[in-house]
Amino acid sequence: MTDLFNNIHGKRIAARKVTGRVRGLYIASGQDFVTQAIDKLQCDHGGIIGDYHYGMTRRAGGREPWYQRGTVIRNDRQLSLISVEELEKIAAAMGLDAIRPEWIGANIVVEGIADFTLLPAGTVLFFDSGLTLKLNGLNAPCKIAGTSIAQHIGAQNEAVLALNFVKAAKYLRGQTGWVERTGGVEVADKITGRIPEQLYYAPD
């Protein structure tokens, strides 16, 4: 047991907390993922009430190649979150003045949490207004979101800009998550994040 502990101890990052703030809130109340600004979001266990991605389940797509496309699975992508700081980095890398969170379907924009996209899956976010979210892990950038950016800025070559987004947003695209405790979230809410203990897994 001592040998096991010593082996694990060198590969362990202790659990810890981070804090930040809600900078903006958005809902996709239409027929696609593009969102609109709103002052408050109300969530139950299906996600954001009235949102395009609302539901306890979803259908598997290209992100889940181990399932046949269309297989019904748990909806672990009820909400999309991104940080102000990382959104600015993506825009700068693409040579744009700004990228609005609505264009890429963000629901919650946070600020003050360093390297937000790199928070490990299982991190729990507590919002002052009552909502609790569990993060599913980093949100891989896709050409669909890149095409939306291209259309909103009137780019001449949508395909090129969409691909540029995929490259520029790698490890900066934010997180997806699902509702663990129902409740609301408001702009300027304080966020307390509880990061779980992490162990480096590399079996011989």
Stated pTM of the model: 0.93
Q: What angle do CA 113, 142, 151 make, to 5 degrees?
A: 100
Question: Half-sphere exposure (CA, 13 Å, Cβ side) for 73?
Answer: 15
Mean pLDDT score of the chain, rounded to an integer? Answer: 94
If pLDDT is split at 50, 70 and 90, which confidence band does 200 have? confident
Asked if residue 11 has pLDDT above 90, the reply is no
Give the CA count within 13 Å in the CB-facing half-sphere of 6: 3
Q: d(Cα 194, Cα 93) in Å, to the nearest integer? A: 30
Per-residue CA distances from 173 to 6, 12, 63, 81, 170 (Å): 36, 26, 15, 8, 6
